[in-house]
């Protein structure tokens, strides 16, 4: 994929508006909006044990699209970021799976997720605690363009 030095979101959103071409499109998919139009994000949780709970955030990525792991391997790529509301960052452990190395003539090597990715989030939690609220921020790109980043909010009971 060819990226510009400008963040991909500017290229996808701003340039399209300037040229009057609107949102990015893919064959057979019509007009697309933000990155969550081609990536479905869900969360499931294990039962709390020993004061901790493991939550699995699953991203299912439409064919022909990719997202970026954290770290993405290049500052011009928008890495996926998971945040847990109401928990101190030092109390939360987030395991982002590694991405597939990808090489680009302009950017060099960086990493991507295709098809799906499962992010493990371990939080302090006991039975009876209130639901856990997560935010997942990411950007989806294909070999021609990037969609604007999306933030998906999830609640795990």
Q: What is the pTM of this model?
A: 0.79
CA-to-CA distance for 33 and 30, rounded, in angstroms? 10
Give me the pLDDT at residue 31, please: 56
For residues 121 and 92, the answer to whether their CB atoms sit within 8 Å is yes
60-82 pLDDT, tens digit each: 999 999 999 999 999 989 999 99
More confident residue, 144 or 8: 144
For residues 121 and 133, the answer to whether their CB atoms sit within 8 Å is no
CA-to-CA distance for 94 and 121, rounded, in angstroms? 5
CA-to-CA distance for 49 and 51, rounded, in angstroms? 5
Region 85-95 average pLDDT: 91
Region 34-41 average pLDDT: 97
Give me the pLDDT at residue 27, please: 39
| Domains of the chain: residue spans and CATH | 8-156 (2.60.40.1250)
Torsion of CA 116, 78, 96, 85, to 10 degrees: -110
Region 119-138 average pLDDT: 94
């Amino acid at each position: 994929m060819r990226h510009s030095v400008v963040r991909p979101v500017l290229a996808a959103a701003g340039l399209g508006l300037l040229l009057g071409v609107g949102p990015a499109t893919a064959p057979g998919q019509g007009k697309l909006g933000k990155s969550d139009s081609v990536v479905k994000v869900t969360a499931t949780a294990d039962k709390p044990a020993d004061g901790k709970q493991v939550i699995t955030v699953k991203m299912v990525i439409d064919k022909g699209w990719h997202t970026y792991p954290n770290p993405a391997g290049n500052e011009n790529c928008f890495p996926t970021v998971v945040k847990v509301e109401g928990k101190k960052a030092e109390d939360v452990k987030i395991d982002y799976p590694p991405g597939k190395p990808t090489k680009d003539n302009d950017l060099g090597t960086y990493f991507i997720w295709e098809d799906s990715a499962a992010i493990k989030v371990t939080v302090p939690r006991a039975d009876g605690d209130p639901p856990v609220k997560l935010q997942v921020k990411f950007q989806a790109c294909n070999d021609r363009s990037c969609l604007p980043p999306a933030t998906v909010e999830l609640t795990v009971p």
